């Protein structure tokens, strides 16, 4: 097994590849940092929650309002009234999945 500290990136990649690799790594680290900075008990719109969870809007809506096993209203999702926007608590959504 190769020791990662012994690999010299200069020997493996040329300059354009190194730049692209570094930019991709920075973008990934920035997205991970943004996730850590978000408050854990935040209510998001259905669309924002779906993006955060990596699911479609309809999949999240169907999951929270499932007829056989709905997620708890007020803990995972809330809605002022029928026809109004649905808000989702992503942290609790993950707990109940």
SS3 letters for 34-67?
HHHHCCCCCEEEHHHHHHHHCCCHHHHHHHHCCC
Low-confidence ranges of the chain (pLDDT < 70): 1-7, 9, 38-41
Q: What is the pTM of this model?
A: 0.58
Q: What is the pLDDT of residue 37?
A: 73
């Amino acid at each position: 097994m190769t020791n990662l500290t012994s690999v010299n990136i200069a020997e493996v990649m040329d300059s354009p590849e190194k730049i692209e690799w570094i930019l991709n790594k920075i973008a990934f680290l920035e997205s991970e940092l943004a996730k850590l900075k978000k408050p854990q008990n935040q209510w998001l719109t259905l669309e924002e929650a779906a993006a955060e969870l990596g699911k479609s809007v309809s999949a999240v809506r169907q999951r929270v309002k499932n007829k056989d096993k709905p997620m708890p209203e007020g803990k995972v999702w809330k809605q002022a009234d029928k026809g109004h926007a649905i808000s989702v608590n992503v942290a609790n959504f993950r707990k109940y999945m």
